[in-house]
Amino acid sequence: MSVIILLISASLLIATGFLLAFIWSVKTNQYEDDYTPAVRILFENDVKQSTEPDTNEKTK
């Protein structure tokens, strides 16, 4: 019986972790644009330009 309680609390804990991750992702505007990042990641990084601007930086 105590095994069940342990299991349940562990699973709830993990699920809560995911819920928090979800809330964080909404908060940081990751749902604002679900198209551009997918394209952006496929661009070749330039070798010539050493200081590539950090495109993943979020706008405040």
Partner 1 sequence: MTKDMKTTTLCYHCGETCEDTLISIQDKHFCCQGCKTVYEILNKVELCDYYAISQNPGLSRKTIIRPDKFAFLDDEQLKAKLIGYADTTQSHVTFYLPQMHCSSCIWLLEHLARLDKAILRSQVNFLKKEVLVVFDPAHTSLRKVTELLASIGYEPHFSLHSMSGKKIKTYDKSRIYKIGITGFCFGNIMMLSFPEYFSLGSAEDKGLLKLFSYMNLLLSLPVFFYGASGFFSSAWKSIRQRSLNIDAPIALAVLITFVRSVYEILSGSGAGYLDSMTGIVFFMLIGRFFQDKTYNTLSFNRDYTSYFPLSVTLVTEQGQERSIPVSNLEKGMRIKVRNGEIIPADCILFYGKARIDYSFVSGEALPVERSVGEIIYAGGRQSGSALEMEVVKEVSQSYLTQLWNNDAFQRKEEKGTSYIHTISRYFTLVLFTVAAITAAYWYVKDVSRLWNAVTSILIVACPCALLLSATFTNGNMLRVLQKFGFYARNAGVIEQISGIDTVVFDKTGTITQQGHTTIQYEGGMLSTEAQQLIRSLASQSAHPLSKAVLQVLPVSPLLPVKEFKEQPGFGTEGRIGDHRVAIGSAAYMQMEKKTRETGSSVYIKIGGNIAGKFVVSTAYRKGLPGLLTRLKKQYLLSLLSGDNDSEREKLKDLFNAQLLFDQSPQDKLEYILRLQEQGYKVMMVGDGLNDAGALQQSNTGIAVCDDINNFSPACDVIMKASAFSYFDLLLKYCKRNRIIINTSFVISILYNITGLYFAVQGQLQPVIAAILMPVSSVSIVLFTTGMSSFFAIPLKTAGRKNKTDNGKLI
Residue 26 to residue 8: CA distance in whole angstroms:
27
By CB under 8 A, tell whether 6 contacts partner 1.
no
| Cβ 46 vs Cβ 52: under 8 Å | yes
List the end-to-end C-alpha distance of the chain, in Å, as a whole number. 49
DSSP character at residue 60: -
Residues 8-37 that bind partner 1 (CB under 8 A): 8, 11-12, 15-16, 18-19, 22-23, 26-27, 31-36
Site of interaction with partner 1 (CB under 8 A): 1, 4-5, 8, 11-12, 15-16, 18-19, 22-23, 26-27, 31-36, 39-40, 42-44, 48-49, 53, 55, 57, 59
